[in-house]
Amino acid sequence: MLFSQPKWVEKWPRSLTKVISWRVTVTLSNFLGAWWTSGSMMAGLGFAGFALVVNSALYFVHERAWNRVSWAKDSNKEVDPV
């Protein structure tokens, strides 16, 4: 079933940590791209700041929604503890 309750779920702190690590990467990219194209460091900072807030919230909601989808998850495999 596509939207069933999975046998294991990713807890919200893991989703939040993934949001933060991804947003650091993308925010730097947004800042550099906006600065380079506009020639203004302040425009780059403004664009990156706006994108940081809006896209972090959207990504968090997206991650939590995908966590409810059981498609392509397999919890029956043995995991190497190393």
pLDDT (tens digit per residue) in 9-22: 778 888 888 878 98
| 75 inside domain | no
Is residue 15 a contact partner of residue 67, using CB atoms and an 8 Å limit?
yes
Query: DSSP letters of 13-49?
Result: HHHHHHHHHHHHHHHHHHHHHHHHHHS-HHHHHHHHH
Task: Return the percentage of the chain with pLDDT > 90, whole number.
Answer: 34
| 77 inside domain | no
Q: Is 8 strand, coil or helix?
A: coil
Domain count, the chain: 1
The whole domain housing 53 covers: 12-67
Band the pLDDT of 69: cuts 50, 70, 90: confident
Mean pLDDT for the chain overall: 83
| 80 inside domain | no
* Higher-confidence position of 82 and 44: 44
Band the pLDDT of 79: cuts 50, 70, 90: low
* The predicted structure's pLDDT at residue 34: 95
| 7 inside domain | no
- Count Cα atoms within 13 angstroms, Cβ side, for 26: 16
| 3 inside domain | no
How far apart CA 8 and CA 79 sit, in angstroms, is 14
| 1 inside domain | no
